[in-house]
Amino acid sequence: MKKLIRLSVMLLLFAAIFNSCKKDDPEPTIEYNLDTEYFTVKDAAYVQDEFPEASSGSAPSIETLNGNPSVIPGGSNPIAIQTDDDIAKILIGVSDVGGYFSLPASEAKTTGDYLFYILMNQTLAVETFTIVIAIQTSAGAVSEHETIVVSLVQVGTGKLQISCAWDQLNDVDLHLVEPNGQEIYYGSSISNNGGELDLDSNAACYLDYINNENITYSENAIVENGEYIVRVDFWSNCDITDNTNYSVTAYYEGVLLTPTTGTNPYQGSFAPNEDDAGGIGDGVEVMKFSISGGKSNIETQSLLKFNYPSDKRSTKNLSPQKGNM
């Protein structure tokens, strides 16, 4: 009997010590770095809290969710939601990352859909992550969480970066005209100043599913003083029946530029019948901006031009399919 009592006391003592140790274990630290390391959302408020859980009972529901599975640093991602419910907010976060964005549904409302744009940080370095999206009613009820798994495609950011993203599997082209008149696009992908189209997606409907294009000026490139013109051309619809939504962002020295005309970011749309197989000089003008802290035209003419490898001295075409059509 004494042995049994002694054993019971020892077990109780062990349990007390174990529970005491558990209480001393630190809670896992949640890092609220969504807005600094991943992305921001245009017109949304950043909430430094855990993503709200789905409500039980009469909660709203997301019928369809569409977004690009590929993103680039400094680029964007158009996201479309369909729901039959009357909602007040759209909630956007990343799985296992603290914080989320709360977007008023009125800022995203379009005919039949809710459309909004995620702006990827130029410092984005996570190879794969999961975007989490929910909708919320004015009474606070939250839908089940829906997700988009995205992969990072590495591109140049550099001193000057202009990017275009769109939401359909077709061919959209990004064009940039420098102050000296030289145009960077799929048919002339590197300028004399060193600006380069380093990502050309879905060329001539040979689909890579990236849906992004990017023009970058590295630290060794010449960013000339003067006015730049950004255009977007709908090269081919590739048999898509829906409208194509696109967005354009422009960064200089890590900051979104303030354009002289247009908006930055810029959001637009192409109807299925607006494709034109366009080349130099074609496309819709989406913005103009001016650089004043770079090099003058006279200075750029006197500087030693870049010693590219022999295959980059001539006009480079990232879309050979287009040249053969």
- 303 has a pLDDT exceeding 90: no
Q: What pLDDT score does 324 carry?
A: 55
β-strand pairing of 266-270 with 244-252: antiparallel
Q: What is the mean pLDDT of residues 21-48?
A: 81
Let me know the angle formed at the C-alpha of 263 by 274 and 299, rounded to the nearest 5 degrees.
105
Q: What is the per-residue pLDDT for 301?
A: 52
**The pLDDT of residue 19:** 57
With a cut of 90, say whether residue 58 has pLDDT above it.
Answer: no
Written as six digits, the tokens of 301 are 């003419």
CA–CA dist 203, 5 (Å, integer): 80
Delimiting residues of CATH 2.60.40.10 domain(s) in the chain: 34-152
The alpha carbon dihedral of 88, 66, 117, 44 has a sign of positive
CB atoms within 10 A of CB 275: 19
Mean pLDDT across the stretch 247-271?
A: 97
Percent of the chain's residues with pLDDT above 90 = 77
**pLDDT more than 70, % of the chain:** 82
Using one digit for the tens of pLDDT, what is the confidence trace for 176-200?
999 999 999 999 999 999 999 999 9
CB 183 within 8 A of CB 94: no
Written as one letter, the residue type at 99 is G
The answer, yes or no, to whether the previous bond of 265 is cis (omega within 30 of 0) is yes
293 has pLDDT over 70: yes
| Per-residue pLDDT band at 319 (split at 50, 70, 90) | low
Architecture of domain 34-152 in CATH? Sandwich (2.60)
Is the Cβ–Cβ distance between 34 and 97 less than 8 Å? yes
pTM for the structure as a whole:
0.84
